[in-house]
A = this chain, B = another copy of it.
Amino acid sequence: MRPTMKDIAQKTGLSVTTVSLALNNKPANIPPRTRELVLNAARELGYRPNKLAAGLRGKCTNTLGLILPDIRNVFFSSLCKGAEDACREMGWNVILCNTSDSHRRDMEYIQILADRSVDGILYCISSDSTLLQAQESCKLLGSLSMPFVLLDRDAGIAGCDLVLTDHRQGGFLGARHLLFLGHRHIALVTGPSHLNGCKQRLDGVKRAYEDAGIVFDPALVYEGNFRLESGEASVDFLLNKKISAVFAFNDMMAYGIYKGLRRRGLRVPRDLSVIGYDDVFPSDIVGVPLTSVRQPVYEMGKAGARRMISRIQQPQILCETKLLSPVLVLRESTAPFK
């Protein structure tokens, strides 16, 4: 059996209280000699605190729940790694929950994590959630008095912490780069238009256009669904327009565009400049490395976890939205307009 504080107490002839006080560096007047005594006994016995017992008694389990759609998606696994790294550095652990993008499972996992007394939840709202459902999950979290930080998805929930990429800036950076290269007729392959992230990217694009004195043309917008197929499907649309460049609102669709162009014997960037968004895939496995607006996903996970732990330790701090800056990563899929 694992040694407990009781064993240390027995071995030293002290009480369990003194042992607890000494081991936890509590501001009781434990004289150095006694502390030494306890610490030595603990070392000799190979004592390790039982986190379950400490969690049950005290207020804190040092555990976070992480709810996300699917860890197989590199976006979320990077987020997760960031969160876990931050937690490890601070002595916390992470319980991982995959929802398969189902709101029902969001709700289930919130309950389960509360049952397990996690101290807080890092929450990527499942994308099948309506605004109402997102509010419902957050209400559940509230009714459980469970602190949480929303990651990546801005569902328009007020009064909570939020960490995500500044998509307005992201859209701006992507568009500005194409404009800088001399492109004047640029198509957009967006994601679902009701998503805040897409609206903001679009805003950013428009701002870049304004700066350059270009008129935004809604006829050059193709609404995709973030999947490769929709990028591929957009190619027919693209080739019917007089454009020299396309900005895809994620990399998957950019690769779909690659595929559609390839099938038609067209080349990137010779025939069309392509820029993506996210930059989560290893870029060197594809023939023409993709220029892309990188979301700092790992950092997002880290920032989210840190924020969560801060909030747990100081519940009174004000809610904030943390916008992380995207970075334009130049590769070979964009070329100057000729």
Taken together as a complex, chains A and B put the C-alpha atoms of A116 and B117 apart, in Å, by 13
Which residues of chain A in 67-90 are interfacial with respect to chain B, using CB atoms and an 8 Å cutoff?
A: 70-72, 74, 77-78, 80-81, 84-85, 88
Contacts of A72 in B (CB 8 A): 74, 77-78, 81, 298
- List CB contacts (< 8 Å) of A228-267 with chain B: 228, 252, 255, 258-259, 262
Number of copies: 2
Bound complex: CA of A283 vs CA of B80, how far in Å? Answer: 24
Flag whether A282 is at the interface (Cβ < 8 A): yes
In the complex, the answer to whether B80 meets A96 with C-beta atoms within 8 Å is: yes
Identify the stretch in A30-38, A171-179, A284-292 within 8 Å (CB) of chain B at 4 or more residues.
A284-292
Give A46's nearest chain B residue, CB to CB.
B143
Q: Which of A21-29, A53-61, A305-313 contacts B (4 or more CB under 8 A)?
A: A53-61
A45 touches B (CB below 8 Å): no
Interface of A is mostly: helix
Are B96 and A84 neighbours in the complex by a CB distance under 8 Å?
A: yes
* Nearest-Cβ distance from residue A296 to partner chain B, whole angstroms: 14
Chosen A-B contacts, 16 in total, with CB atoms closer than 8 Å, are A52-B117, A53-B56, A72-B74, A72-B78, A72-B81, A74-B74, A81-B98, A88-B97, A95-B96, A228-B282, A252-B285, A259-B284, A281-B282, A281-B285, A286-B287, A287-B287
Spell out A's residues near B (CB within 8 Å).
48-53, 55-56, 61, 63, 66, 70-72, 74, 77-78, 80-81, 84-85, 88, 93-98, 111-112, 114-117, 228, 252, 255, 258-259, 262, 281-282, 284-287, 298
